[in-house]
Amino acid sequence: MIIGKYFKDDEDEVLMLYQHDCYYDSLRRWIKLAGECHCQYHRLPEWEDISRQWDMFRERGYHDHRCIQAHHDLIAKRFRMIQKNPDLFFWIVHGKNGWFDFFNSEIAKFMKDPEMLRLFMTAVACANTKAGYDAEDELLDKMRESYGVGKCCIPVVPES
């Protein structure tokens, strides 16, 4: 996770550090959930290629976290934004205690969409390849679209 200020008043460093410390656990949960969701599709002909790639990925037993880092960070940023503006959102959160509940809810929502599931699996299973990079970009665009944000997710540099 890249820690940074992403929006006005995004200054909860304790929460940012907590999200950072939970980063690898969060990604493992997301990968596990993708595998579980994949079970309903893996026998379909149109899923044959990604199923084969996913099986090879699982056999390797490791992943390059960077292929889904921006995606995690987008969810983390969204959580902090809701924390600062609870009146604008339906989701009720409670500081660090709400982070995993929120994260799990968001990834479950994304993994219910077969196209987002396929993109996630491709990004992870085909990391550091053209297919993986393309899937990363497309998944991130879809996630941003679902949040109603543009393509610019560059952290705001704190003023000196």
Q: What is the pLDDT of residue 15?
A: 85
Q: State the residue for tokens 């993986």.
A: 132
Question: What phi and psi values does residue 77 have, to the nearest 5 degrees?
Answer: -65, -40
Q: What is the pLDDT of residue 131?
A: 96
Secondary structure of residue 5 in the 3-state scheme: strand
- CA–CA separation, 151 and 31 (whole Å): 24
Q: What is the pLDDT of residue 155?
A: 43
pTM (two decimals) = 0.84
Strand (E) or helix (H) holding 143: helix 130-147
**What dihedral do alpha carbons 111, 115, 116, 120 form, nearest 10°?**
100
Q: State the residue for tokens 């390059």.
A: 64
pLDDT beneath 70, residues of the chain: 1, 86-97, 150-160
Q: What is the pLDDT of residue 157?
A: 40
